[in-house]
Structure 1
Amino acid sequence: MLNFTELKIVHIDDHLLFAQGIYSLLGNETFIEKLVHAENFQQGLSISSKLQPDLILLDYFLPDSNGLDSLRHLKAVCQESKVIILTMETNPEVMKKCQGAGAIGFLPKSISKKELLDAIKNAMSNIPTFYFLLPISHSTQRPQSRLNILSKREKQIANLVAEGLTSSEIAKQLFLSDLTVNTHRRNLIQKLGLKNSAQLVAFIQNLKYSES
């Protein structure tokens, strides 16, 4: 059960069957006050500008707008709304552009109900959820599988970073130099396709939540 009440959500997607599926998944959730569907971008923009929803679920491919342009227009009109891209797009470069344009999530349409609810909880807690952070050959992997590219030491340091420890504190605990820890942190951020330590913390915390 999510610790949020009375959320207003707008879902913008031109595929009616998928939209009906989203409604069947979320329509009976008690934490949602209103769930509105728009079948194209212009309709979604009009509804969102009036409703000012807490969350917008946005398809990247719409008949009347480019996905990135859609995102930018929505963020300009609904500055407080969280936007999650819910799409069939698997290009990591597109994901990064959406991330840079203000999306708080980028999810495949193949996700489960639990994964969608997790992403909504994360969004309302200002925690990003991005599934496509690896090169395109690995783009369908879930967040947990991304850890397979990390060494045992990197995983250890990632968990300590997520617990809020500084590089100096990690170095003392693991009997390493500050320089070594900082090098590992840079490698972690690069391997996982993140931008900074804050995103690394959110990424690890997101994994721990989804496992609980």
Structure 2
Amino acid sequence: MSTPTTVGIVDDHTLFREGLREILETCEDLRVIGEAGDSGGAVALVREERPDVVMLDIEIPGDDVLDTVDKIRTSSPDTKIIVLSMYDGPQLLRRLLSAGIRGYLLKSVHSEEVISAIRSVVNDPERLVLAVSRDSMAQIHAPAQNILTDKERQVLELAAQALSNLQIARHLGLTEATVKRHLRNVFVKLGAVSRIDAVNRAVAASLISIRQDPGAMPKGFG
């Protein structure tokens, strides 16, 4: 008999966790190995138990869901994350997909869909499981046109000129923390891993134009 798929459940409602555990434990190929009620507990659970799959509620107390996803993936890169939500929001879903989740299920789905989603992401390394509306799917796959806000575009254009976060902040009258937040949003929206990558992707998509003084070539470009 094959080894059961291990699952962690993260939700701040005890009754929901207990209900989901009962559903999953009816399947011989699934085994719940831990539960948590907040983001800190979620990361600790993954670090200690390294489950095959984590069922992660989108509104747990603590860190932002994107931060929690990032910490989980850092602690256990092989753990597949399936987000559970009451809301069908395409913008957040796009960002979560860029952050590396493997599934997004509305809490209104049937128990069979949850079980199927877990099995799918474990058995197929390339599989994404999304239980959302048709409108959300259309917006997720829409072209990147106008994906950046005006402020994000300004920050990225200055980053393309090799300005530091502090220099960008002074130029735009922002705090350095705000600049970092804008850059992080840009990375998520464009699926970029660095400033250079973000600039190259934005230029290729005609989202920004690079303005430079003659002879001043930003580091890493050219």
User: Could you tell me how far 1:65 is from its partner in structure 2?
Assistant: 1.6
Q: 2:35 aligns with which of 16, 34, 37?
A: 37
How far 1:116 sits from its partner (Å)? 0.6
Name which of structure 1's ranges 8-17 and 34-43 shifts more when overlaid on structure 2: 34-43
Using the alignment, how far apart are the partners of 2:6 and 2:119 within structure 1?
13
* Identity rate, percent: 22
Letter of the 1:130 counterpart: L
Cα distance in 1, alignment partners of residues 140 and 79 from structure 2: 26
1:132: which partner in 2?
A: 132
Partner in structure 1 of residue 211 of structure 2: none
For residue 11 of structure 1, the aligned residue among 9, 12, 18 is 9
C-alpha separation in 2, matches of 1:74 and 1:66:
12
Matched residue SS, 1:62: coil
CA contact (8 A) 1:60 1:89 kept: no
Within a 5 Å distance, the mapping from 1:162-181 to structure 2 comes to: none
Q: TM-score, normalised by structure 1?
A: 0.61
Letter in 2 for 1:30: E
Q: Which position in structure 1 is the counterpart of 2:99?
A: 101
Q: For 1:28-177, what aligned pairs fall within 5 Å after superposition?
A: 28-124=26-122, 125-126=124-125, 127-132=127-132, 134-135=134-135, 139=136
CA distance in 2, matches of 1:134, 1:98: 18
Q: Which is greater in Rg?
A: 2
- Give CA-to-partner distance per residue, 1:60-89, whole Å, 9 cap, x none: 111112111111111111101100001112
Letter in 2 for 1:122: S
Equivalent residue of 2:61, what SS? coil
Name the residue aligned to 1:23: 21
In angstroms, what is the RMSD of aligned CA positions? Answer: 2.3
Tell me, yes or no, if the aligned pair for 2:90 and 2:139 is still in contact at 8 Å.
Answer: no
SS in 2 for 1:5: coil
Measure how far apart 1:131 and its partner are. 2.4
Q: Distance in 2 between matches of 1:61 and 1:96?
A: 17
- The alpha carbon displacement at 1:31 in A equals 0.8
The residue type equivalent to 2:55 in the other structure is: L
CA distance in 1, matches of 2:28, 2:17: 19
Q: Contact (CA 8 Å) 2:57, 2:83: kept in 1 or not?
A: yes
In structure 1, stretches of 5+ residues that fail to align are 140-145, 147-189, 196-212
| Aligned-pair CA distance for 1:18 | 1.0
Q: CA deviation at 1:98?
A: 0.6
2:103–2:117 CA contact under 8 A, matched in 1 = yes
Aligned residues: 141
The TM-score, its normalising length taken from structure 2, stands at 0.58
The separation in 2 between residues aligned to 1:4 and 1:192, in whole angstroms, is 36
Which protein is richer in helix relative to its size?
1
Deviation of 1:4 after TM superposition, in Å, equals 6.1
CA contact (8 A) 1:27 1:35 kept: no
Change (3 A) 1:118 1:66: same
On the 8 A contact 1:6/1:32 being kept in 2, the answer is yes
Match of residue 141, structure 2, among 193, 200, 208: 193
What are the ranges of 5 or more consecutive residues in structure 2 without an aligned counterpart?
A: 144-222
Q: Deviations over 1:124-163 (max 9, x none)?
A: 122111123643xxx5xxxxxx7xxxxxxxxxxxxxxxxx
Alpha carbons 1:5, 1:30 under 8 Å: kept: no
Deviates more, 1:4-13 or 1:121-130: 4-13
